[in-house]
Amino acid sequence: MPRATFRIWRGDARGGELRDHETEVSEGMVVLDALHQIQAESAPDLALRWNCKAGKCGSCSTEIDGRPRLACMTRLSDLDLARPVTVEPIRAFPPIKDLVTDVSWNYAVKRRIKPFKPRAPDAPDGTWRMAQSDVDRVQEFRKCIECFLCQDVCHVLRDHHKHEEFIGPRFLIYAAALEMHPLDVEDREPDLKEEHGIGYCNITKCCTKVCPEGITITDNGIIPLKERVADRYYDPLRRLLALFRRPK
């Protein structure tokens, strides 16, 4: 069996280094398999997250040869094994240990977004009526597996560290799914502008490129949200009308 070297970031919040681990590779293996083998053979305390192993839970987000990927969906046959494969934690979040990072910020952000608020039911039995064509668009956003790879590549978070002012592509998509939900009557536009920092996104589309679910994050989600906010706050005609409506 051929062997390959994996150059894995080992360390914690205080710092760390890339360390080489060798293991046998066989047909069909993905990076997550190699990491598990290394755990069982030579590094039992190698920290990593995983669950479903089928690209459905979004736990095993890492940076493989510099690219944000799910370790469970990255086949070794697609990598150059002649040189060491680097495996690093996602860099937009603080390291905890090895490949595990502190993603708790994401959970806190989600709580700040106003929850789903449905209109009154359509039928006397308390149910609603919606056509498939009305739910298609939101179903695309609801495919999100919360792997946070889009947050990882977003330069507003990764390079400019605007975590206080900007919620990132994942939560813009979450907000879009709520705003465009056929039943939802909540108004999140003021928050998107003032609290969630939608203006920071300058549509470089890096998030869309790394999405393992193929969600068209920018074109279908963020841009329409930006348009709604722009219409409301920057449309000259609306601003003029608002001027006249101002209470005396």
Partner 1 sequence: MARWTTFEHDVLVIGAGGAGLRAAIEAASKGVSVGLVCKSLLGKAHTVMAEGGVAAALANVDDRDNWRVHFADTMRGGQYLNNPDMAEHHAREAPDRVRELEAWGALFDRTPDRRILQRNFGGHKYPRLAHVGDRTGLEMIRTLQDHGIHKGIDVHMECTVVELLKDGERVSGALGYEREQGRLQLFKARAVVLATGGIGRAYRITSNSWEYTGDGQALAYDAGAELMDMEFVQFHPTGMVWPPSVRGILVTEGVRGEGGVLKNAQGKRFMFADIPEAYRKQTADNEDEGWRYTQGDRDARRPPELLTRDHVARCIVREIREGRGSPHGGVFLDIAWIKERLPGAAEHIQRKLPSMYHQFKELAGLDITKEPMEVGPTTHYVMGGVRVDAASQMSTVPGLFAAGECAAGLHGANRLGGNSLSDLLVFGCRAGAYAAAFAREHGAAAIDERAAEVAATRCLAPLERGEPAGGAAEAPYAIQHELQRVMQDQVGIVRTEAEMREALEAIDRLRERAGRVLVPGNRQYNPGWHTALDLHNLLTVSEAVTRSALERRESRGAHFREDCPAKSEEFARFNHVIAKGADGAMAVRREPLVPLSDEHQRIIAEMG
Is 139 or 204 the residue whose CB approaches partner 1 more closely?
139
Contact between 187 and partner 1 per CB under 8 A = no
User: Can you tell me which of 75, 83, 238, 239 binds partner 1, judged by CB under 8 A?
Assistant: 75
> What is the closest distance, in whole angstroms, from the C-beta atom of residue 51 to partner 1 in the complex?
4
User: What kind and span of H or E run contains 67?
Assistant: strand 67-70
Region of residue 98 (left: phi > 0; alpha: psi -120 to 50; beta: else): left
Q: How many residues bind partner 1 (CB under 8 A)?
A: 62
- Residue with the two structure tokens 């690209």: 55
Is 98 or 152 the residue whose CB approaches partner 1 more closely?
98
**Within 10 A of 65 (CB to CB), how many other CB atoms are there?**
16
> What is the closest distance, in whole angstroms, from the C-beta atom of residue 188 to partner 1 in the complex?
14
Contact between 68 and partner 1 per CB under 8 A = no
User: Can you tell me which of 2, 3, 82, 132 binds partner 1, judged by CB under 8 A?
Assistant: 132
User: Can you tell me which of 52, 203, 230, 242 binds partner 1, judged by CB under 8 A?
Assistant: 52
> What is the closest distance, in whole angstroms, from the C-beta atom of residue 202 to partner 1 in the complex?
28
> What is the closest distance, in whole angstroms, from the C-beta atom of residue 59 to partner 1 in the complex?
5
User: Can you tell me which of 104, 161, 194, 219 binds partner 1, judged by CB under 8 A?
Assistant: 104
User: Can you tell me which of 103, 176, 215, 229 binds partner 1, judged by CB under 8 A?
Assistant: 103
Q: Give whole-number Cα distances, 197 to 112, 203, 206, in Å.
A: 13, 13, 18
Measured CA to CA, the distance from residue 179 to residue 192 in angstroms comes to 11
**How big is the chain by its Cα radius of gyration, in Å?**
22
Q: What are phi and psi of 177, to 5 degrees?
A: -65, -35
- Residue with the two structure tokens 């479903």: 52
